[in-house]
């Protein structure tokens, strides 16, 4: 809790006690923590002086916000029009099967989380998957395992270094 | 600085790069370029130039609209012709540096073609069918200038419109915009000049100008490309609008999914402010205007104007009934002018070239050009700007290059989730606001998605409805429940549980949803369903009556089958590629799919080597020979 307070202190600065700052504040918190925890939302409610339920209501209205932690490597499968027509759904299913989690879920080791997104503007390269900040173009179910393996060893190396 | 001084300074900056003594390398690094690997290419160039101690400049530019050929690199060489290379990888960078930056070999075998001063056999890019059929106004600088350098915009005519506007009476500007015939590019096509006039007439000390950059259509990316490739034109348009309607503050509402566009906008705003083109006392006049960025949080309905303002105010963005219109009572209850990204982008051009110039282009009721994002099964996926009134045929075949992989064109979806699917017979429809509406589609956001014989129209309708149903804010009952009920019916149809009455029921529900909803989301959500029924009723009937998906897409209605006489027997690709171990080898060595285990993921079809092509989809699934439905006698599981 103390740790959270400290993390939020930088975002919840006195000049932002304004209702129109609510969404930008939530966006910044998510940017920092990867998701909106109940504690964080309550802290924001107290700060902007509106009920916690209102903050929750607003956060759940927008697709951008998530309420479960993000994996070390967030996987986002595009479900926009172009990607759908090029077989994006099969890619999403393959991803879910390979990671053995549901959409919006996270693997037990917290390495991967899986989400769907609507069009990231790379329709010309459909279907696409985004992992970390890299875009993987022209995906197919058989390529899924390959791509995940290429992401994972890198992370293991990193954690070994630490 | 006076505007003339600003222009002069811009020119010398530009000339040193584009007409300088050393080669100049342009690399497209918009989102599409980055996805294709443009950043490692930039890095490779910088490294290669440094190690060879070569004198050359590298500039990151936006997107010229050939997204499928990214990364694109253009080399401008003093005293020689300009060459553009496509699909560049870091591996070929040293060849290009050695060949053309340092030497005299233009490496034409790696090139898409030449841009200026052609060379013998090389393709001359401006003569490519795509560019011959385009008419570029707001895309004119995209992929050519550095979006992070305001001087590049100014040299190419930028901020002329604003300089001119500041010497005009606000009403005269509005008259000019009215005369040009400009209609809003956000979808509905409302006459821009009239909207400005209404906002001007609203009496209030405080007014706002908002730019709608929410671009929520999941298959459209024009606004993103404009903002990533030439953001200043949008800013200039907003400043002119602010002056014309009497506002001092502006907001750009942009979706958070566009981080690069946001970054480039921030830089662009800073640079405009530094030169005194934005901020207090613009160009020494007594007009001040400030612009802030507000980031969307991912809700399609936020793109609807009244909902968008709720989002900026920090509330759940739900549309409200109009009137009052935003021009009377908008953001925080103040008169607010709201236009789309592209609408603002046209304004500086109209002011510098005049209303007549603009209205000389386009068709009767729709003046100027339209920008489309071409995606789906087209050869040249990317961006295109054409005169209003160009036909769909030209757009898809002459510019888009036709259907990919030699397949047959089936339909084009235009206007996103609010738009419609049009068949081959409608390809001579001109693209403008009125013709498209008549055909049952809409101009909408400008997403154009081509579908081929391998796309199921019922599945496509279901996809769009699934999107709008999820995005419905839930305020209007007909929208919230009606779209859900329609979706349930479509689920049934695609799963082979449909009844023939369902088709008419869908039409009936569609009318209820359209008539009973407050905002454009609900009012247009039925369009994809209505147009697919209107033009592809036979596909609905095949799903319902024959339990057959003609395009072989709907999972419940297809089965994967390995053709025994095509199976190579020795090869194990499908067996290894199947994630659920549903494929075994029978006593003849032929691979057989256990239909009860198969999840229809399609992996076997993708991994079966193209020279055998043994895996096919059958619909209805009953076409699979009965001996193969289950692991039966004669089929022995693969030996371990
Ligand atoms: C559900 C819905 C989503 C919309 N999304 C957008 C959008 O992403 N971008 C946009 O410019 N207009 C969008 N609009 C249209 C806006 O409400 C508004 O008409 C438009 O931005 C006005 O600008 P214009 O006059 O320049 O066209 C949307 C409308 C609805 C009903
Ligand atoms: S639909 Fe996937 S990137 Fe546009």
Query: Domain spanning A73-150 has what CATH number?
Result: 3.40.30.10
On chain B, the residues whose CB falls within 8 A of the CB of A142 are: 577, 603, 606-607
Distance CA A50, CA B106 (A): 65
> Would you call B610 an interface residue with chain A, using a CB distance cutoff of 8 Å?
no
Give the distance from CA B252 to its chain's centroid: 19
The answer to whether residue A158 scores a pLDDT higher than 70 is no
B212 lines ligand 1 (CB under 6 A): yes
| Neighbour count for residue B578 (Cβ, 10 Å) | 23
Characterise B246 by phi-psi region: left (phi > 0), alpha (psi -120 to 50), beta (else).
Answer: left
CATH of B369-455, one of 3.10.20.600, 3.40.50.2300, 3.65.10.10, 1.10.150.240: 3.10.20.600
Mean predicted confidence (pLDDT) in A100-122: 89
Most B CBs within 10 A among A28, A55, A85, hence the mutation to make, goes to A85
CA of B157 to the centre of ligand 2 (A): 33
Distances (CA, A) of A45 to A18, A54, B299: 11, 8, 22
Contact B414, B422 (CB under 8 A): yes
> Would you call A125 an interface residue with chain B, using a CB distance cutoff of 8 Å?
yes
> Would you call A113 an interface residue with chain B, using a CB distance cutoff of 8 Å?
no
Helix (H) or strand (E) holding B125: none
Contact B177, B245 (CB under 8 A): no
Window 30-69 of B: residues touching A by CB (8 A cutoff) are: 31-32, 34-36, 67-68
Write out the two tokens for B602. Answer: 């399609």
User: What interface predicted TM-score (ipTM) does this complex get?
Assistant: 0.85
User: Which atom of ligand 1 is found nearest the CA of B195?
Assistant: 25
CATH of B558-633, one of 3.40.50.620, 3.30.70.20, 3.30.870.10, 3.30.70.380: 3.30.70.20
Distance CA A8, CA B512 (A): 47
Contact B450, B395 (CB under 8 A): no
pLDDT interval class at B297 (50, 70, 90): confident
Of A46-60, B27-41, B115-129, B135-149, the one with minimum mean pLDDT is B115-129
Min CA distance, B152 vs chain A (Å)? 25
Min CA distance, B517 vs chain A (Å)? 19
Mean predicted confidence (pLDDT) in B441-460: 90
> Would you call A27 an interface residue with chain B, using a CB distance cutoff of 8 Å?
yes
pLDDT tens for residues B424-438? 999 999 999 999 988
pLDDT interval class at A161 (50, 70, 90): very low
Question: Which of the pair, B25 or B18, is modelled with greater confidence?
Answer: B25
| A81/B375 Cβ within 8 A | yes
Write out the two tokens for B475. Answer: 């305020």
DSSP string, B208-269: EEEEEE----TT--HHHHHHHH-THHHHHHHHHHHHHHT--EEEEEEETT-HHHHHHHHHHH
The overall average pLDDT reported for chain A is 88
What pLDDT, on a 0 to 100 scale, did the predictor assign at position B122? 78
Q: Which bound ligand lies closest to the C-alpha atom of A122?
A: 2
Nearest Cβ partner of B382 from A86, A120, A124? A124
What pLDDT, on a 0 to 100 scale, did the predictor assign at position B637? 42
| B381/A20 Cβ within 8 A | no
pLDDT interval class at B529 (50, 70, 90): very high
- Most trustworthy range by pLDDT among A30-34, B10-14, B67-71: B10-14
Bridge-based pairing state of the strands A129-131 and B57-61: unpaired
Distance CA B24, CA B47 (A): 15
What pLDDT, on a 0 to 100 scale, did the predictor assign at position B178? 98
- Interior CA angle at A118 toward B383 and A75, to 5°? 115
Residues 6+ apart with CB under 8 A from A151: A73, A131, A132
> Would you call A80 an interface residue with chain B, using a CB distance cutoff of 8 Å?
yes
What SS3 class is residue A112?
A: strand
- Among residues of chain A, what percentage have pLDDT more than 90? 56
On chain B, the residues whose CB falls within 8 A of the CB of A132 are: none
The overall average pLDDT reported for chain B is 92
B340 lines ligand 1 (CB under 6 A): yes
Domain B458-545: CATH class, spelled out = mainly alpha
| B473/A119 Cβ within 8 A | no
pLDDT interval class at A162 (50, 70, 90): very low
Distance CA B120, CA B249 (A): 54
On chain A, the residues whose CB falls within 8 A of the CB of B32 are: 121-122, 124-125
Contact A75, A111 (CB under 8 A): no
A122 lines ligand 2 (CB under 6 A): yes
Ligand 2 test: best mutation among A126, A129, A136, most atoms within 8 Å of CB?
A126
> What does the domain layout of chain B look like in residue ranges?
12-129, 158-358, 369-455, 458-545, 558-633
Distance CA B632, CA B446 (A): 53
Of A108-122, B251-265, B559-573, the one with minimum mean pLDDT is A108-122
| A135/B35 Cβ within 8 A | yes
The answer to whether residue B158 scores a pLDDT higher than 50 is yes
pLDDT interval class at B630 (50, 70, 90): low
A81 lines ligand 2 (CB under 6 A): yes
The answer to whether residue B228 scores a pLDDT higher than 90 is yes
| A124/B68 Cβ within 8 A | yes
On chain A, the residues whose CB falls within 8 A of the CB of B251 are: none
User: Which atom of ligand 2 is found nearest the CA of A82?
Assistant: 1
A128 lines ligand 2 (CB under 6 A): yes
Distance CA A109, CA A98 (A): 14
B184 lines ligand 1 (CB under 6 A): yes
Alpha helices, DSSP H, located in A49-140: 52-61, 81-85, 88-99
Write out the two tokens for B533. Answer: 């029924």
Helix (H) or strand (E) holding B533: helix B527-545
B301 lines ligand 1 (CB under 6 A): yes
The answer to whether residue B448 scores a pLDDT higher than 80 is yes
On chain A, the residues whose CB falls within 8 A of the CB of B413 are: 81
B71 lines ligand 1 (CB under 6 A): no
User: Which atom of ligand 1 is found nearest the CA of B343?
Assistant: 26
- Among residues of chain B, what percentage have pLDDT more than 70? 97
The answer to whether residue B340 scores a pLDDT higher than 70 is yes
Give the residues across from B57 on adjacent strands: B24
> 0.95 cut: is pTM over it?
no
CA of A131 to the centre of ligand 1 (A): 31
Q: Looking at domain B12-129, does it have CATH number 3.30.360.10?
A: no
- Among residues of chain A, what percentage have pLDDT more than 70? 94
Distances (CA, A) of B237 to B144, B350, B383, B445: 20, 10, 21, 19
Residue with tokens 């800073």: B270
Give the residues across from A113 on adjacent strands: A74, A106
| B298/A62 Cβ within 8 A | yes
- Helix-helix angle B232-245:B259-274, to 10 degrees: 60
What SS3 class is residue A116?
A: strand
Contact B450, B396 (CB under 8 A): yes
Distance CA B616, CA B558 (A): 10
Contact B593, B583 (CB under 8 A): yes
- Helix-helix angle B192-201:B232-245, to 10 degrees: 40
The answer to whether residue A154 scores a pLDDT higher than 80 is no
Domain A2-61: CATH class, spelled out = mainly alpha
The answer to whether residue B378 scores a pLDDT higher than 70 is yes
> What does the domain layout of chain A look like in residue ranges?
2-61, 73-150
Residue with tokens 């034409």: B108
pLDDT interval class at B118 (50, 70, 90): low
pLDDT tens for residues B84-102? 999 999 999 999 999 999 9
Q: Which bound ligand lies closest to the C-alpha atom of A127?
A: 2
On chain A, the residues whose CB falls within 8 A of the CB of B314 are: 18-23, 58
What pLDDT, on a 0 to 100 scale, did the predictor assign at position B119? 59
Window 542-581 of B: residues touching A by CB (8 A cutoff) are: 577, 579
| Neighbour count for residue B376 (Cβ, 10 Å) | 28
| B373/A119 Cβ within 8 A | no
> Would you call A91 an interface residue with chain B, using a CB distance cutoff of 8 Å?
no
Fold of B158-358: Rossmann fold (3.40.50)
Helix (H) or strand (E) holding B429: none
Min CA distance, B256 vs chain A (Å)? 8
Residues 6+ apart with CB under 8 A from B117: B80, B81, B82
């Amino acid at each position: 809790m103390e740790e959270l307070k400290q993390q939020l202190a930088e975002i919840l600065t006195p000049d932002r006690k304004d209702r129109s700052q609510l969404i930008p504040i939530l966006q910044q918190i998510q940017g920092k923590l990867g998701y909106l925890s109940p504690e964080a939302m309550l802290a924001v409610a107290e700060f902007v002086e509106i009920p916690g339920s209102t903050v929750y209501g607003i956060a759940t209205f927008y697709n951008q916000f998530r309420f479960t932690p993000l994996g070390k490597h967030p996987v986002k499968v595009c479900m926009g029009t172009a990607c759908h027509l090029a077989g994006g759904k099969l890619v999403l299913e393959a991803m879910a099967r390979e990671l053995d989690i549901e959409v919006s879920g996270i693997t037990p080791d917290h390495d991967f989380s899986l989400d769907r997104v609507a069009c990231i503007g790379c329709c010309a390269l459909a279907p696409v998957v985004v992992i970390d900040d890299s875009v993987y173009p022209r995906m197919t179910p058989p390529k899924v395992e390959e791509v995940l393996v290429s992401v994972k060893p890198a992370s293991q190396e990193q954690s070994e270094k630490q | 600085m006076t505007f003339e001084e600003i222009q002069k300074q811009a020119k010398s900056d530009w000339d040193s790069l584009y007409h300088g003594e050393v080669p100049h390398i342009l690399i497209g690094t918009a989102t599409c370029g980055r996805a294709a690997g443009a950043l490692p290419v930039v890095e490779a160039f910088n490294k290669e130039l440094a190690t060879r101690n070569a004198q050359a400049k590298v500039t990151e530019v936006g997107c010229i609209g050939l997204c499928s050929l990214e990364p694109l690199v253009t080399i401008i060489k003093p005293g020689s012709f300009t060459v553009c290379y496509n699909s560049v990888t870091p591996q070929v960078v040293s060849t290009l540096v050695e060949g053309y930056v340092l030497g005299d070999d233009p490496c034409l075998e790696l090139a898409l073609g030449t841009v200026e001063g052609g060379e013998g056999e090389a393709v001359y890019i401006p003569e490519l069918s795509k560019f011959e059929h385009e008419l570029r106004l707001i895309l004119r600088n995209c992929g050519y200038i550095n979006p992070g350098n305001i001087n590049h915009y100014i040299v190419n005519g930028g901020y002329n419109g604003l300089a001119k506007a500041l010497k005009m009476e606000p009403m005269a500007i509005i008259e000019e915009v009215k005369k040009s015939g400009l209609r809003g590019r956000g979808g509905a096509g409302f006459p821009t000049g009239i909207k400005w006039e209404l906002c001007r007439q609203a009496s209030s000390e405080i007014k706002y100008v908002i730019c709608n950059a929410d671009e929520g259509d999941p298959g459209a990316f024009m606004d993103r490309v404009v903002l990533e490739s030439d953001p200043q034109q949008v800013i200039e348009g907003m400043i002119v609008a602010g002056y014309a309607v009497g506002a001092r503050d502006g907001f750009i509402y942009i979706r958070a999914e566009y981080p690069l566009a946001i970054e480039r906008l921030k830089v662009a705003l800073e640079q405009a402010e530094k030169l005194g083109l934005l901020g207090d006392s613009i160009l020494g006049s007594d007009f001040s205007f400030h612009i802030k960025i507000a980031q969307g949080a991912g809700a399609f309905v936020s793109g609807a104007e009244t909902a968008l303002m709720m989002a900026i105010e920090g509330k759940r963005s739900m549309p409200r009934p109009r009137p009052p219109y935003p021009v009377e009572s908008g953001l925080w209850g103040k008169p607010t002018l709201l236009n789309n990204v592209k609408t603002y982008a046209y304004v500086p051009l109209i002011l510098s070239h005049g209303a007549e110039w603009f209205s000389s282009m386009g068709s009767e009721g729709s003046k100027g050009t339209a920008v489309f994002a071409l995606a789906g099964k087209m050869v040249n996926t990317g961006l295109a700007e054409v005169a209003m009134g160009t036909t769909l045929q030209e757009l898809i075949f002459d510019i888009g290059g036709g259907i990919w992989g030699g397949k047959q064109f089936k339909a084009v979806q235009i206007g996103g989730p609010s738009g419609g699917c049009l068949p081959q017979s409608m390809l001579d429809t001109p693209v403008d606001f009125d013709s498209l509406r008549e055909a049952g589609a809409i101009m909408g956001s400008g997403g154009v998605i081509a579908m081929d014989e391998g796309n199921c129209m019922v599945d496509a309708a279901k996809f769009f409805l699934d999107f709008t149903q999820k995005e419905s804010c839930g305020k209007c009952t007909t929208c919230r429940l009606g779209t859900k009920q329609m979706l349930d019916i479509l689920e049934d149809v695609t799963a082979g549980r449909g009844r023939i009455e369902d088709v008419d029921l869908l039409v009936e529900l569609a009318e209820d949803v359209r008539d009973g909803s407050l905002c454009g989301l609900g009012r247009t959500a039925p369009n994809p369903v209505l147009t697919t029924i209107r033009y592809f009723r036979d596909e609905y009937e095949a799903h319902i009556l024959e339990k057959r998906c003609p395009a072989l897409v709907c999972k419940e209605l297809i089965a994967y089958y390995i053709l025994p006489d095509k199976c190579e027997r020795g090869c194990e690709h499908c067996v290894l590629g199947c994630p659920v171990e549903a494929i075994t080898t029978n006593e003849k060595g032929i691979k057989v799919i256990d239909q009860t285990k198969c999840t229809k993921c399609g992996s076997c079809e993708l991994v079966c080597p193209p020279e055998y092509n043994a895996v096919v989809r059958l619909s209805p699934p009953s076409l699979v020979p009965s001996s193969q439905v289950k692991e039966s006698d004669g089929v022995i599981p693969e030996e371990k």
